[in-house]
Structure 1
Amino acid sequence: MALTLRLGTDDLTRCRFAVSPLCQTHEALRMLRRSARHGYHRAWLRRAAPAVAGLDLSPLWLFIPPVGGYTPDFLGPPPEEPYPRFEDELARVRATDPALARTEMARSLACTPGLAESARGRAALDDPAATVRRLADLTEQAWRALVAPDWARHRAVLEADIAHRSRQVADAGLDALFTGLHPDVDWAGGNLTLPVRGDLRDAQLADGRGVLLMPSVFVWPDVVSGFARPWQPTVIYPVRGMGALHGDGVPRPSEALARLLGRQRAAVLAGLGDPASTTDLALRHGLAPSTVSAHLAVLREAGLLGSRRQGHRVLYGRTALGDAVVAGA
């Protein structure tokens, strides 16, 4: 199904990005449900198999159908900040009003014939407050087992995607941003046409709420849209640079560049095709943060790197000169 979202001037000024660890956790769970359809994440699925075997996710599976259907909105409220902590997002889930939770859970169960009348379905609806606690606890377990071990690398790729698309907007406007999100996203004449999960269709007004854009590691190859009021319309799209997550994550500079700069410094420079923080680089290269900081300082003084602040983090990226040095080597 598709929905066309009409964006007015107020909507265009309220478009924003966010990186949500809670969203990544739920998309990882959905990846487990649809693993038979998608082979791209085979390496992650193999690594995750022992952790999955130690979890009883059946209460969550009630509300995360493998294909289509509706997942309760309270399980994944859109983040209020660009870079929220998982603990803060989970606290919002735990604070869900039981009456609202019951309504959304009933809608979700109704997507599968007979599920609401089953013993598990009735038990979930009979005590919605307890069900919310149980689902929140399981979501936390899934985060710690499936996503948290790789979160530093994933976050670096997600932030690099946002940095790239922010430059797109600065260079070519929102047209370049929306038309480059995903092949299933269409942007023409102020109308954003998106595939949706659930029963929304036809055209809707964004009503000045704007659009929340969230890159995801696990949503590939799909794009996912949500429109639950009073939240912003949300688009979850595949992140750029996912291929780096399935290799060893450590760039290998050319021999010429290594002789010129030293192997560690050359690796840091070669690996900065997308912006990254000192912490991200330290994890990626297996170096102490102080060592990475020293390399970054030298490269920046030489004009090969630039830096910018993003929230509480400083991201480093190659300058045009840095790109030329890496390409020339």
Structure 2
Amino acid sequence: MPRARHALPVPSGSRPGIHPRYLFDVDRNVVEFRLAPDDVSAIRFGLSPGHELAHAVRVLQRPAEHPMQWGWLRAVRGRVPQGAFDTLAVLIGPSGYFPDFLTAEPEWDLDAAGELERLRAASIDGMRVDLGKMLVRTTGARHDAVRGMLADPVVWRARIADAWEAVWAALLTPVWTQLERILRADVAVRSRRIALGGIAAMAAELHPRVSWSADAVRVELAAHREIVDCRGSGLRLVPSVFSGGCSVLTEAPVQPTLFYPAEGVTESWARRTASAAAALAALLGPARAGILLASGEPRTTSRVAADAGLAASTASHHLSVLRDAGLIASRRDGPRVLHLRTPLGEAVIGARL
């Protein structure tokens, strides 16, 4: 059974361990993810390029509602591939449900190429189910367009994937470096909060509509309520730059998932990497800023020196300063010492880029 993305009313399917109606808060719509007490391993993080693309399409449909994206909007308005965008807009719409086949299950190492590959191989039966849901949620020309897709899903799967690829290339490829750094920095900060204060401390700062109560993460939504037993499956948390609110996935076979707004998103998040790097250089100095920016993967001192065009002794000095500031961590791997950004370093990078 395809999963269901709940932000507005979507009928629940059956799933072992889920009790869809309605055991608490009769005056509020709440999804409650039940977790084992103090089970830090129950929380996992993931990324979803497809979720970002879908909400970017929504931003373009209602720009006035998304002031944090106005910098990005100014940069991309002139290069929207209109035909491809119109195809996705039929499916995604400005709010509410959009088909689950458009996005892969969030994973930590999922990238746009992986999303696109899975979309091109999406289950035709799953597409029919999702398009059927769209059919009862649309009217007018959009309804007719969905009906046409449902009549020939094999052809439309390829057309939709082509549109996805074109819109991604035009609107998100130019800013994906900045966007991904914000997402990964957010995860680093949340993980540190779990380590220091537990799940409750982290969950309390996800969003005003998210709270921790009685060994559960609770999410207020517009018009959906459900109790999801995550003991055994865990809960996946997925930050988002383009979505300003929360949404959930609760149907098998997908792991229960909560999407939430990433920290550090300002109106200028999509500025060019060069200008953001210049701002970071003013804070740390050009050499240290360059080393920190390039430390997303473990590197030896000699590799750091070579990448930065510095003498090994100079690179070692800069690494020492960054390590003392808590931005770089160094560990021994046999005869080598490897250097990598810390969660604090990720947060600094995410805030600037």
Decide which moves more: 81-90 or 174-183. Answer: 81-90
Match of 1:47 among 75, 84, 101: 75
* Greater alpha carbon shift after TM alignment, 20-29 vs 129-138: 20-29
1:265 corresponds, among 268, 287, 312, to 287
Q: State the one-letter code of the partner of 2:50.
A: L
CA distance in structure 2 between the aligned counterparts of 1:23 and 1:308, rounded to whole angstroms? 34
**Is residue 252 of structure 2 the alignment partner of residue 229 of structure 1?**
yes
Change (3 A) 1:207 1:46: same
Deviations 1:261-304 (A, max 9, x none): xx4135458xx6xxx54379xxxxxxx98118877643223443
| TM-score normalized with structure 2 length | 0.73
Answering whether residue 134 of structure 2 is matched by residue 108 of structure 1, we say yes
Structure 2 partner of 1:91: 117
- 1:22 corresponding residue in structure 2: 50
TM-score (norm 1): 0.78
Say whether 1:278 aligns with 2:295: yes
Q: Could you tell me how far 1:136 is from its partner in structure 2?
A: 1.2
| 3-state SS of paired residue (1:43) | helix
Partner of 2:328: 306
Cα deviations across residues 235-264 of structure 1 (Å, max 9, x unaligned)? 221111223625531354798x87xxxx41
Q: Report the RMSD for the aligned CA atoms in angstroms.
A: 3.3
Which segments of 5 or more consecutive residues in structure 2 lack a partner in the other structure? 1-7, 9-28, 298-304, 332-337, 349-353
Distance 1:39 1:52 in 2: 19
Q: Which runs of 5+ in 1 are unaligned?
A: 281-287, 324-329
Q: Compared with structure 1, are the counterparts of its residues 103 and 277 closer, same or farther at alpha carbon in structure 2 (3 Å cutoff)?
A: same
Write out per-residue CA displacement over residues 18-69 of structure 1, whole angstroms, 9 at most, x where no aligned residue: 122222222211221231212221111111101115543222222112122x
Q: Match for 1:174 among 183, 199, 213? A: 199
Shift in Å, 1:126: 0.5
Secondary structure of 2:64 counterpart: coil
Return closer, same or farther for 1:249/1:113 CA change in 2, 3 Å cut-off: same
Q: How far off is 1:17 after superposition?
A: 0.8
Match of 1:163 in 2: 188
User: Highest relative contact order (Cα 8 Å, sep 6+), 1 or 2?
Assistant: 2
Q: How does 1:207-218 map to 2 (within 5 A)?
A: 208-218=232-242
5 Å matches for 1:67-82?
Answer: 67-68=95-96, 70-79=97-106, 81-82=107-108
Q: Is the 8 A contact 2:34 2:228 kept in 1?
A: no
Q: Secondary structure at the match of 1:249?
A: helix
Helix, strand or coil: the match of 1:9? coil
Give 2:202's aligned amino acid: L
Cross-structure match for 2:14: none
- Structure 2 CA distance for aligned equivalents of residues 250 and 35 of structure 1: 28
Change in Cα spacing, 1:18 to 1:292, as seen in structure 2 (3 Å) is farther
Asked if 1 retains the 8 angstrom alpha-carbon contact of 2:185 and 2:343, the reply is no
Q: CA deviation at 1:77?
A: 2.4
Matched residues in 2 for 1:37 and 1:65: separation? 14
**Aligned mate of 1:152, from 177, 180, 197:** 177
TM-fit CA distance, 1:151: 1.1
